[in-house]
Amino acid sequence: MSPFNVTNEATAPSAALVAVLGLRMYFRKQGDADWHDFGHVRNPNREQDLTELDIKSARLGRLATIKKVTTEVSLEYTFESISVLDLATVGLHTAGPFGAAEIGDGAFYAVEEFLGNEGELLVVQPNAETGGVVKVGYFPHALLKGDGEESGDGETESQLTFRATIMPAETFAVPATLATGTPYAPYGFRYFAPAASLDDVLDAISDGGYEVPTGDGDGDGGT
């Protein structure tokens, strides 16, 4: 044994580790080269549910749990966009075809299909302090669906709610330009970087993105 020692004793009391983070949400549909920005977003919520198996033994005379094994993982991410008049945002919410309409300047349509879209989800949280550290969350394989709509009551803004179900990307590893050793990350990863480096981080994530295997034998886990 060793005497009481705290590994982060020098940094734990520092207020520099406390931050006010904003929110930007991006999604790239499977097969697309470019990302969609959901505009003004809020109320992010990460919902994580783990199912565990209790392995038991009566080695000491009484049945007791000697090990827990995670047998099922469920990870979902919900958020709201209040950019309710953005064509592509509405199209992703309805999950059907969308485009410019025939009648009226600037009119558009979106077909209700409820099927969702597979792709990559990117969560960017800028720091309110100039020069602060930015947090980026990347999920290589997500199924995005519209999950409700609030029309407002004349006093509050309208909103579109989205739900992203995070699924495993079996061959995905963190791009070598971001991490040494390219660690295996089937459910994605979190990345923290100085604000000045954000563009480089996003470029690296976009370049090293994930393609869902199509079953034709050519899926290599990267773009």
- What is the tens place of the pLDDT at every residue in 36-86? 999 999 999 999 999 999 999 999 999 999 999 999 989 999 999 999 999
Is the pLDDT at 35 greater than 50, yes or no?
A: yes
With a pLDDT cut of 90, the percent of the chain lying above it is 82
Taking the model in full, what pTM does it have? 0.87
Q: Could you tell me the pLDDT band of residue 13, with boundaries at 50, 70 and 90? A: very high
| Average confidence score pLDDT of the chain | 91
Q: Residue 15: enclosing H or E segment and its boundaries?
A: none
Q: What are the Cα distances from residue 141, in Å, to 26, 76, 132?
A: 13, 11, 29
List beta partners, residue 98.
110
> Which whole-number Å values give the CA distances from 2 to 6, 8, 9, 10, in the listed order?
11, 16, 16, 19
pLDDT-wise least confident of 67-76, 177-186, 209-218: 209-218
CA distances from 197 to 96, 113, 138, 200 (A): 36, 39, 16, 5
For residues 94 and 68, give the distance between their C-alpha atoms in angstroms, rounded to a whole number: 41
Instruction: Name the pLDDT band for 151 (thresholds 50, 70, 90).
Output: confident
Q: What is the pLDDT of residue 65?
A: 96
Local confidence band at 221 (pLDDT 50, 70, 90 cut-offs):
very low
Q: What are the E-state strand segments in the chain?
A: 24-29, 36-37, 41-57, 64-81, 98-100, 108-110, 117-125, 133-150, 159-166, 189-194
Domain boundaries, the chain: 15-207
Half-sphere exposure (CA, 13 Å, Cβ side) for 150? 15
User: 188 vs 19, 25, 112, 117, 121, CA distance in Å?
Assistant: 23, 15, 29, 18, 9
- Quote the DSSP letter at residue 127: B
| Residue 33, pLDDT score | 93
- Helix intervals (H) in the chain: 87-94, 198-207
**Rounded distance, CA 143 to CA 42, Å?**
19
Contacting residues for 181 by C-beta, under 8 A, at least 6 apart: none
How many Cβ atoms from other residues are within 10 Å of residue 118's Cβ? 15
